[in-house]
Amino acid sequence: MLRSRSGTPSLGDIEQVYRSRFDEYRRVATAIVGDADRARDAVQDAFATAVRKRAGFRGEGPLEAWIWRAVVNTALNQLRAAPRELPGYDRNGDTPHEDADASELRGTLKLLPERQRLALFLRYYADLDYATIATVLEISEGTVAATLHAAHGSLRRRLEEVQL
Amino acid sequence: MNEFDPALARELDRLAPASAAALDWNDVLGRAGHRRRPVGVAAGAVLVLVVALLATPALGIRRTVGQLLGVHARPHLRFVAELTPVSGTGSGTVTATPVSSFTHVGSDRTVGFTRMISVTVRFTGLSGPATAGRIRVTPPRGSSGTGFVVRLCGPCSSGTTVVVRRRGLILALLTGRGSAEIATAAHPEGELRGQILPSR
């Protein structure tokens, strides 16, 4: 899915990632900050950072993963700067969703450790493989597997409780 | 490895925001403090320069530049309105001529283009003193806009020349959306009126 590149990426390389992957970056950023407008801001700020610091990209991994790290970090910084009580948005990404099951799921997600939440968002909203998630979160692939396994277990238990 | 739980994916998808197209890449470049695409700026600057030179007879090189560039320069742009009375026997004309053009670079590095128009009002045979002269611009067809009015003079004397600058005025006159009117006390909405049209 992701291509490996080497050397400093050009503006065109970054623009190509932006145009082809914007929606995935935005979905994950929205899941992190819980607000569609702030998520769009976070994605654009992250790409602006990537443009400014592209000389720092050494080609040690995929360019997309390097940008993923910028997007996740920017979204986390936004969340920490102005935290929301409970990230929530409807399918248009604009207003809080009032569905009880969805609220329950959001509440469960909120109880997960941050690393588990981020791993879930990257796996399910961006369809990243373990290797890329490991690069983005700067952990090993084994830790990604363990983190997702733990998150799956917590969510499945919680969903089964809700269904009962 | 790479575990993916479809049931969990369906649940998480319920929270996923809908798809959205990528926003403007230039906004990203702006946030990065990066200059807009050099080729765009260069092309825009060249275009504005050519238009400015061709449209500025004061430089005295319009024809030369046009010949050098292989462009046949148009006769100088001019607009005229023949004014007719809503009552009485008055008559008049309004002539409008773009008199200057220049480029500027805004704080966001955009290249702009500004024009002023010299407007001369002539009339005779009114029912009384001219209380006002105006150019009335209607919005483009199908637009929800309201148009605008450019005040020329008030009270007015025949032969009065004023220089006006209004965004969109030249385009409006080029597309036949401007009309001139001379008002009097008896006809405050215009005793003389006429559509302003491009003229050679």
Beta bridge partners of B121: B94, B160
Mean pLDDT calculated for residue range A5-9:
70
Which residues of chain A make contact with B35, given a CB cutoff of 8 A? none
Which residues of chain A make contact with B13, given a CB cutoff of 8 A? 124
This prediction has a pTM of 0.50
- Residue B147, pLDDT score: 83
Nearest Cα residue in chain B from A19: B22
pLDDT tens string B102-133: 444 445 444 444 567 889 999 999 999 999 99
The span from the CA of A73 to the CA of A59, in Å, is: 19
Contact B20 A148 (CB under 8 A): no
Does residue B43 have a pLDDT over 60?
A: yes
Mean pLDDT calculated for residue range A9-26:
89
Percent of chain B with pLDDT over 70: 68
Which residues of chain A make contact with B5, given a CB cutoff of 8 A? 152, 156
Q: Which of B184, B177, B179 is nearest to B93 (CA)?
A: B179
Element holding B62 (H helix, E strand): helix B62-68
Q: Is A157 exposed, middle or buried (0-12, 13-18, 19+ CB in 10 A)?
A: exposed
Contact A159 B4 (CB under 8 A): no
Q: Is A152 an interface residue toward B (CB < 8 Å)?
A: yes
Contact A51, B29 (CB under 8 A): yes
Kindly report which listed range (A54-63, A94-103, B113-122) carries the lowest average pLDDT score: A94-103
For B17, the closest of A19, A91, A102 (CB atoms) is A91
More confident residue, B47 or B186: B186
Structure ipTM over 0.90, yes or no:
no
Kindly report which listed range (A96-110, B4-18, B131-145) carries the lowest average pLDDT score: A96-110
- Residue A154, pLDDT score: 84
Test the B interface: residue of A38, A52, A91 with most B CBs within 10 Å: A91
- Residue A91, pLDDT score: 43
Where do we find the tokens 């919005």?
A: B139
- Residue B67, pLDDT score: 52
